[in-house]
Each structure stands twice: as structure tokens, then as C-alpha cells.
Amino acid sequence: MDIKRRNIQYSKPCPVYLLASLGCVTTLFSEMVCYPLEVIKVKLQMNGTQGCPKYKYMKQFISQTKSIQLYYRGFDAHILKIIPQSTTKIFAYEFIQTAFTGNIVETSFLRKLSTAAAAYGVALLTGNMGDIFRIRLINNQDLSLIQAIQQSYKKTGFNGFFRGYWLNLITITSIQAIEISLFQKFKRFFIHNLALSHNSIITDALTSLITGLTSGILTAPLDGFKTRYMNQFIDQYSYWNTFINLIKEEGFLALYKGTFPYCIKLTIGSTFTFVLYEQFKKQII
């Protein structure tokens, strides 16, 4: 197999900490823009379950939610996830990539996926806690972030901060698998059929949009199940019990609640993050 190796001369040095900072900034910006969709998604996923209010349609929730503050409910917990996770992810990815691929640029799908999954596995050690508290704050209007942390630690101990870790990792790895396998295929299709430039921002944006939409549709059930599971305390139900009870009480289609805002958020978020990151990166390399 012909393997291409790195033979790139950078006009400026680009240390990993700078890439990590750029990754954090672009992720934070895209999450700020898309966070109202995250709130809507979680509300619909938990619709009428575990003591949460019931909404017949997404339009009903929007019509009843007048304050902009409610659309950013739990964003402080989300920041607790974004900042450590996004920076740790890039540090881990660059380290693992160098350790396993050396100066190889183009590698197999399995190698790319393994590297990305390992990096996310490390990053989730810092970000999983923020994910849990974001979901619980969105579903409990009377709870503050400090109270949520204290409540969780009191009832479940330190292990409660890692509730749903493996489910979170599986969801993220599935998204990565879809994006890694489809991104270049979609990009080649647009270049060959629409005569777009390989380095054009329009090409990157269009490819990211289609890839994000596809991964959103395919991984929505995993994300829905993750939300249900993380909203509980660790001493209530296991993965299997949560899944069985959900299917028995609501049917398999319950896993697709909140799919529309989830797909839109993933599509817009991945496009913002990727395009901004690549554009910032071009300015320093």
C-alpha cells in the first residue's frame, strides 16, 4: 500500500498548544450559537419522562419559552465540558497520532478512527461531568450548577461524575466514524460534479453541512438514549434496564425524540467549528 508521508514546510511554527487554543475558541463560538438547539433537543428527548414537562410539538415548547435565558439554561455546565474537553482532545489527538503514525499523513480509516476515539476517550475524562450537569440543569429549573455537583457527589460519589462515560464515547466515536468515512467522499463528489475548488471555503462548508446532517440522522438514537441515562442517578438503572424500560413504556421510536434539533445543531456546529478552525489555522501556518 502506498502511504503518503509528511513533507510539508510551515511558514510559521505551529505548536500544539496553539492548535488546542484555536480548537477551544472555535468550538466555544459554535456552541454559543447552537446552544438553544441543544436545549430544545434535550427538552424533546426527555418529553414527559422522569418528571419532565410534556410537549406535543417543538413549536409548543418554543411558544411557551419566551425568555432568552431559558434557551441558555445549563450553559455554565456546558462550558465546564467544552473548555477542558476540546483542549484535551487536540493534545491527546496530536500525541497519539505522532506515537502511532509518525510522519505518515494519509492512513487507513481504522487507524484514523482509532486515533480519534482514543483522543476523545481521554478528553471525556474531563468533559463527561459537564455533559451530565448540562442535561440535569436543563431539566430542573430550580437547580444551580453548584447544587447539581453537590447533589450528585452526595448521592453517587465521585463515580457519579462519569455516569454514561462509555455511552458518551460510543456516541462520539460513531459520529467520528461517519464523518471520517464520508467527509472526503462528499468533498470529492462536490469537486468533480460541481466544479468547486479543493481549498474553497464553500467546498469545506458544504461538505461539512452534508456530513453533519448524515451523522446526525444516524446517531440520533444514541444521543437520545444518552440523555435519558445521564439524567438519572447512577444508583437507579443500568444501561440495559434504562433501555428495556424505555422500549417497553414508549417504544423504539422514543429514541428519535429531538432528532430534528439534534441534526440541525450537529450540522451547523460541525460546519462552524471545522470552517473557522481551518481558516484560523491557515493564518498561522
CB 280 within 8 A of CB 24: no
Residue 101 and residue 155: Cα distance in Å, rounded?
A: 43
What pLDDT, on a 0 to 100 scale, did the predictor assign at position 226?
A: 92
Q: How many domains does the chain have?
A: 1
> Is the residue at 7 inside a domain?
no
Q: What's the rounded Cα separation, in Å, for the pair 232 and 53? A: 16
Maximum mean pLDDT: which of 52-56, 88-92, 149-153, 231-235: 149-153
CATH of the domain at 241: 1.50.40.10
pLDDT at 126 over 80: yes
Q: What percent of the chain has pLDDT over 90?
A: 18
In tens, the pLDDT along 192-213 reads: 887 777 667 777 778 888 888 8
Reported confidence tier of residue 245, pLDDT bands at 50, 70, 90 = confident
Residue 3 is assigned to a structural domain of this protein: no
CA angle 151, 85, 155 (to 5 degrees): 15
Looking at residue 160, what is its pLDDT? 85
Residue 270 belongs to domain spanning = 16-284
Here the cell at position 63 is: 411558544
- pLDDT of 3 reads 40
More confident: 115 or 222: 222
282 or 129, greater pLDDT: 129
Residue 5 within a domain: no
Set of cell numbers at residue 279: 481558516
Rg (CA), the chain: 20
What mean pLDDT, rounded, does the chain reach?
80
DSSP conformational letter for 161: G
In a domain, 127, yes or no: yes
Give me the residues paired with residue 5 across strands.
Answer: 104
Q: Which residue has the higher pLDDT, 187 or 127?
A: 127
Calculate the alpha carbon distances from 186 to 109, 116, 173, 177, 275 in Å.
15, 20, 20, 14, 15
8 occurs within a structural domain: no
**Span 224-240, average pLDDT:** 80
Is residue 37 in a domain? yes
Would you say how long the chain is, in residues? 285
Residue 83 lies in a domain: yes
Query: Which amino acid, one-letter code, is at 263?
Result: C
Is residue 4 over pLDDT 50? Answer: no
In a domain, 75, yes or no: yes
Tell me: the pLDDT tens digits for 28-79? Answer: 888 888 899 999 999 999 887 877 888 877 888 888 888 889 899 999 999 9
Banded model confidence at residue 220, pLDDT cuts 50, 70, 90: very high
